[in-house]
Chain A
Amino acid sequence: MKAFFALVHRELLEHRGAFLVAPLALIGILFTMIVLAYVSGRLNFELAAMVNPPALRVFEVGFLGFAVAWWLYLLGVLFFYCADGFSADKRNNSMLFWKSMPQSDFKILLAKFGAATALFPGLIYAAALVCGVIVYVLTLIMVSVGGEDMGTFILGAVRAYLSIAGGILVALAASILWFAPFFAWVGALSTIVGRWSVPLSILVPLLAAGIENMYVSGPAPEGGWIWSYLSYRVDFPINEEGYLRSWFMSGERFDVYQFTLDLVGRTDWMQVVLGLAFALVAIFAASEYRRRTIDN
């Protein structure tokens, strides 16, 4: 396991720009903007047409808003990481160096997948938590300006922070599990075709769906079985009818327990298991290809 973790660490060293430097830079920019806004007296605490919204509500919505933004950032950057990182050894001219190490190609690719599904989401989670602290400080200023009860806010905000932090963790883990086969698919393609995996990872399934529609007849959902299945798998099961919507409309405090129950209930766990099995098969197939490739 020591070697596996070292290989995962190697991924961080190679891709620290996207997963460490860029988030830190974005947080730095955000912090600077808030400080400048505060200094110049341009902070505006209006929220969804509410002139004097409750500070705790501002905190919860702000924290969750940043979490959603980081989640979208993570999914986008992971896509490009898988499209690039799985063929990076070939592109960096270092394939033969890593092949001179006593580690199998499967373990090396598994480490890349491990970085994509555990380490990098962990770093983005940390970035979201830091943003939560920034929002906390911001709302603290709001409370002091508005003359609300500071003690009540501090206690409530700490509870809300922990609750939302737990909710983000659950959502992040569930979404990574849900999208893992897609990332493995992109990574496996990248092992073979390099950065061409960016268009091909989308083009190949679309082509398969198109061929099905053209040549396969018989009863099928609109768009065909492949299109229907892909649409289902692209849609992460936090939808408008779930807990998040009812929480947003109700104005109640965010409840991590209810959120988790709702998400777990909505997730198709059979699909998660099948997806993880597909991911393992894709990575194994890619490693067998890599084992036979000596391009430097």
Chain B
Amino acid sequence: MNNAEIIISAQGLRKSFGRKEVLHGLDFEVPAGRIYGLVGHNGAGKTTTLNAVLGLTNCEGTIRVLGEDPFARRAQLMENVAFISDVASLPRFLRVRELFALLSNIHPNFSQEKARSFLEGTDIRMDAKIKHLSKGMIAQLHLAVVMAIDAKLLVLDEPTLGLDISYRKRFYRRLLEDYMTEERTLLITTHQVDEIEFMLSDIMFMRDGEIILHMQMESVNEKFSQLVVTDQVKVASARSLGPVYEETRFGQTVMIFDGADRGELEKLGQVSTPSISDLFVALMQRPTANPSAA
């Protein structure tokens, strides 16, 4: 992987609010053409990390986005970076047509024709005032706006917060079908990780300002296994293999293993790849999980 392919590069990224350090020296790289999921509890440092990537906050350490210092050159960087940080952040005093006309002059990579085409088939009228749109319609409009920007990096911070499930599904499907190409990189945070799992190429888990897992989804499938033990006699044998997490569901014991031999596990019960949410719950409880892998 050469330098030209790296979209985001962070080294020793630290951020403090007063005396409290919220990012503890993050090191990571995001190559081009990937879809990254950044997952963590509330207060884990996800939004602060994204703010550092977007040049919205100054941090210690080094961070480069498309080769630029994002805090020093945010305005220039935004020509090639689009982001949705909050579905309610569109200017409510504008009409849709006014918004598109303004953006045509403000953003050199915004295409009004594309934005209009993305709204076809929706209930959003061009002369509607944004403040009169429903929350779901505003999310659709915001997505149409960012998809109409020819950007290399798209950052989504909880873009579907507060939307019902049909809007959320439609949002992600639209994003995948109409926007993502090999040249574009997507970095997304959400608490509804199960809904974006199908589209992710890479995953990063954050806990207390540190990255505790950073790997490709294919590696997750190879590295982690979920074992469901129905025969209680075999539970002790399974425990002896060192699960990273264990819980009981409806009388069955569910364990998650890190790097265990699947052949061995299959003798003890039903083996599968854990979902991202199961893995998240499991890994949030142990000190570290492969922080160096990428």
Q: Report if A2 contacts B (CB, 8 A).
A: yes
Which residues from 51 to 92 on chain B have a C-beta closer than 8 Å to any C-beta of chain A? 51, 54, 56-58, 74-79, 82-86, 88-92
Contacts of B90 in A (CB 8 A): 94, 97
What's the tally of chain A residues with a CB closer than 8 Å to chain B? 28
Among candidates A5, A94, A104, residue contacting B91 with C-beta atoms closer than 8 Å: A94
A102 an interface residue at 8 Å Cβ cutoff?
A: yes
**B264 interfacial by beta-carbon distance below 8 Å:** no
* Interface pair B78/A101, CB less than 8 Å apart: yes
Which residues in chain A, 76-113, are within 8 Å of chain B measured between CB atoms? Answer: 89, 92-104, 107
Beyond A93-B86, A296-B85, is A99–B93 a contact (Cβ under 8 Å)? no
**Contact indicator B94/A102 (Cβ below 8 Å):** no
A10 to B86, CA, bound (A): 21
Nearest chain-A residue to B130 (Cβ)? A94
On chain B, the residues within 8 Å of A5 by CB distance are 105
Beta-carbon contacts of B85-109 to A below 8 Å, as 1s and 0s?
Answer: 1101111111000100011011110
Give the residues from 251 to 296 in chain A that come closer than 8 angstroms, CB to CB, to chain B: 291-292, 294, 296
Contact of A92 among B85, B91, B146 (CB under 8 A): B91
Contact B89–A95 (Cβ < 8 Å) = yes
Complexed CA–CA distance, A100 and B103 (Å)? 11
Rounded to whole angstroms, the CA-CA distance of A135 and B92 in the bound complex is 39
Q: Kindly identify which residue among A2, A9, A101, A292 contacts B57, using a CB–CB cutoff of 8 Å.
A: A292
Any B CB within 8 A of the CB of A118: no
Asked whether A3 is an interface residue with its Cβ less than 8 Å from the other chain, the reply is yes
CA distance A3 to B76 in the complex (A): 13
Given known A-B contacts A92-B93, A93-B88, A102-B79, A294 and B105 have beta carbons under 8 A apart: no
A12 → chain B closest CB, angstroms: 10
Verify B76–A102 contact, CB threshold 8 A.
Answer: yes
Q: Which residues of B contact A10 (CB under 8 A)?
A: 91, 94, 102
| B91 and A6 within 8 A (CB) | no
A99: which B residues are within 8 A, CB to CB?
A: 54, 56, 74, 78
| Known A3-B105, A101-B107, A102-B75; contact A14-B89, beta-carbon cutoff 8 A | no
Q: How far is the CA of A154 from the CA of B52 in the complex (A)?
A: 67
Q: In the complex, are the beta carbons of A100 and B94 less than 8 A apart?
A: no
- Asked whether B102 lies within 8 Å of A94 as measured between CB atoms, the reply is no
Judging by beta carbons under 8 Å apart, are A13 and B94 in contact? yes
By a CB distance below 8 angstroms, the chain A residues around B77 are 102
Task: Indicate whether A294 sits within 8 Å of B56 (C-beta atoms), given known contacts A101-B78, A102-B76, A102-B78.
Answer: yes
A13 to B102, CA, bound (A): 10
A294 contact set on B, CB distance < 8 A: 51, 56-57
Complex CA gap A89/B102 in Å reads: 16
B109 to chain A, nearest CB (A): 8
* B85 partner, pick from A6, A7, A100, A101, beta carbons under 8 A: A100
How many Å lie between the Cα of A110 and that of B89 in the bound state?
A: 22
B residues 89-137 with Cβ under 8 Å of A?
Answer: 89-94, 98, 102-103, 105-108
Interface positions of A (Cβ within 8 A of B): 2-3, 5-7, 9-10, 13-14, 89, 92-104, 107, 291-292, 294, 296
Sampled A-B contacts (19; CB under 8 Å): A2-B105, A5-B105, A7-B106, A9-B102, A13-B94, A94-B89, A96-B85, A96-B86, A96-B89, A97-B91, A99-B74, A100-B83, A100-B84, A100-B146, A101-B107, A102-B75, A102-B77, A103-B78, A294-B56
Give B contacts to A, CB under 8 Å: 51, 54, 56-58, 74-79, 82-86, 88-94, 98, 102-103, 105-108, 146
The 4 closest A-B pairs by CB, nearest first: A6-B105, A102-B78, A104-B75, A97-B89
